[in-house]
């Protein structure tokens, strides 16, 4: 197995390890620190409020949707050599991790994403290094732009899915 295939194969595992920290800790964290963060950073108050209302199962459903997407992209890359699609999604994940590290640096206290975000850095550097040596700069930039767009669109969809799931569960329980 060449290096890029190994990196591609590891992606769903790295993603889920990161998401497990988020799933396990987000509700307790947002309940404990949400008001403090909303007060200190008023621009994120609405987002904090949405997280406070979100159930753990709904959040896990959003993660499942993302995991299915990553799984499909990984299989397509490994079986059909659609590595450009994988690079786009990997770019979105890498940006996601960098945003989490930035959030942690702003808050200056534990956020239930930081341990696995920091642990993901060597994998991301390894992936970026492999991508740089396997693709042209035009391909990389195109994949990066596409990945950011797809990640933002999918994040919106995943959060909408989670919110709808919570509404459904409240109306049918």
Contacts of 119 (CB under 8 A, 6+ apart): 17
What pLDDT does residue 44 have? 86
Cα atoms found within 13 Å of the Cα of residue 20, Cβ hemisphere only:
7
Greater confidence (48 vs 56) lies with 56
Domain boundaries, the chain: 3-25+60-167
pLDDT, tens digit, for every residue of 67-82? 999 999 999 999 999 9
Is pTM beyond 0.85? Reply is yes
Greater confidence (94 vs 41) lies with 94
Q: Above pLDDT 70, what percent of the chain?
A: 99
pLDDT, tens digit, for every residue of 7-32? 999 999 999 999 999 999 999 999 99
**Residue 168: C-alpha distances to residues 68, 130, 161, 173 (Å):** 22, 44, 10, 9
Return the closest-CA partner of residue 74 out of 62, 65, 64, 87: 87
């Amino acid at each position: 197995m060449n290096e890029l295939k190994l990196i591609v194969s590891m992606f769903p595992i790295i993603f889920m390890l990161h998401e497990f920290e988020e799933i396990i800790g987000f509700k307790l964290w947002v309940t404990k620190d949400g008001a403090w963060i909303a007060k200190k950073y008023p621009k994120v108050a609405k987002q904090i409020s949405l997280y406070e209302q979100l159930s753990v199962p709904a959040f896990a459903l959003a993660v499942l949707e993302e995991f299915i997407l990553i799984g499909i992209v990984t299989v397509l890359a490994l079986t059909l050599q659609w590595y450009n699609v994988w690079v786009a999604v990997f770019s979105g994940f890498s940006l996601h991790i960098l945003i989490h590290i930035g959030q942690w640096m702003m808050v200056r206290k534990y956020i239930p994403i930081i341990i696995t975000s920091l642990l993901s850095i060597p994998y991301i550097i390894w992936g970026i290094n492999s991508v740089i040596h396997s693709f042209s700069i035009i391909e990389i930039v195109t994949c990066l732009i596409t990945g950011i767009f797809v990640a933002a669109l999918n994040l919106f969809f995943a959060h909408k899915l989670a919110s709808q799931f919570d509404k459904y569960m409240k109306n049918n329980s």
